[in-house]
Structure 1
Amino acid sequence: MAKRRQLYEGKAKVIFEGPEPGTVVQYFKDDATAFNNKKKGTITGKGVLNNRISEYLMLKLADIGIPTHFVRRLNMREQLVREVEIIPIEVVVRNIIAGSLAKRFDMPEGTPLPRSIVEYYYKADELDDPMVSEEHITAFGWATPPDLDEIMSMSLRINDFLTGLFLGIGIRLIDFKLEFGRVWEEEQMRIILADEISPDNCRLWDMNTNEKMDKDRFRRDLGGVEEAYQEVARRLGILPESGPGDMPGSDTMQ
Structure 2
Amino acid sequence: MHLIYQGKTKDVYKLDNNQILLKFKDDVTGENGVFDPGANTVGLTIEGAGKSGLKMTKFFYELLNSRGIPTHFIAADLDEVSMTVKEAQVLGKGLEVICRYKAVGSFYRRYAAYCTEGQDLDRFVEVTIKDDERGDPVISDDALAQLGILPHALYQELKELTRQICDIVKEELAKKGLELYDIKLEFGYDKATNQLLLIDEISGGNMRVYQGGTYIPPLELEKIFLS
TM-score (norm 2): 0.89
3-state DSSP of counterpart to 2:204: coil
Is 1:25 aligned to 2:25, yes or no?
A: no
The equivalent of 1:104 in structure 2 is 110
Corresponding residue for residue 88 of structure 2: 84
8 Å CA contact 2:52–2:222 kept in 1: the answer is yes
The runs of 5 or more residues in structure 1 that have no matched partner are 215-227, 239-254
- Compute the displacement of 1:184 (Å): 4.0
Match of 2:34 in 1: none
| Cross-structure match for 1:122 | 129
Superposed CA deviations along residues 201-232 of structure 1, whole A, max 9, x for unmatched, are 111111x2x22123xxxxxxxxxxxxx51x32
Secondary structure of the residue aligned to 2:203 is coil
Paired with 1:112 and 1:75, the residues of 2 have a C-alpha distance of 36
5 Å-filtered alignment, 1:177-192, equals 177-185=184-192, 188-192=193-197
Taking the aligned partners of 2:173 and 2:29, their CA distance within structure 1 comes to: 25
Deviation per residue, 1:50-87 (Å, 9 max, x gap): 01111111111112221111100134310111110011
Q: Does 1:235 align with 2:224?
A: yes
| Distance 1:6-1:136 versus aligned 2 partners, 3 A rule | same
Inter-partner Cα distance in structure 1 for 2:44 and 2:173: 27
In structure 2, C-alpha distance between the alignment counterparts of 1:176 and 1:33, rounded to whole Å? 14
* Residue 5 of structure 1, CA deviation: 1.3
Q: Partners of 1:69 and 1:143 in 2: how far apart?
A: 19
Output the TM-score relative to the length of structure 1: 0.80
**CA offset digits 1:81-105 (Å, max 9, x no partner):** 1110011221110001110111111
Matched, 1:94 2:91: no
Query: Contact 2:204/2:222 (CA < 8 Å) preserved in 1?
Result: no
Please state how far the C-alpha of 1:160 moved relative to its aligned partner: 1.6
Contiguous gaps of at least 5 residues in structure 2? 31-38
Counterpart Cα distance in 1 of 2:117 and 2:62: 31
- Please give the alpha-carbon distance, in whole angstroms, between the structure 1 residues aligned to 2:188 and 2:208: 23
Distance 2:145 2:48 in 1: 40
3-state DSSP of counterpart to 1:154? helix
User: Which residue number in structure 2 is paired with residue 198 of structure 1?
Assistant: 203
* Secondary structure of 1:16 counterpart: strand
Deviations 1:88-132 (A, max 9, x none): 22111000111011111124322212x221011111111111001
Q: Is the 8 A contact 2:9 2:28 kept in 1?
A: yes
Percent identical: 28
| Alignment partner, residue 14 of structure 1 | 11
What is the distance in 2 between the residues matched to 1:54 and 1:109? 28
Aligned residues: 214
Deviations 1:5-26 (A, max 9, x none): 11111111100112x3100100
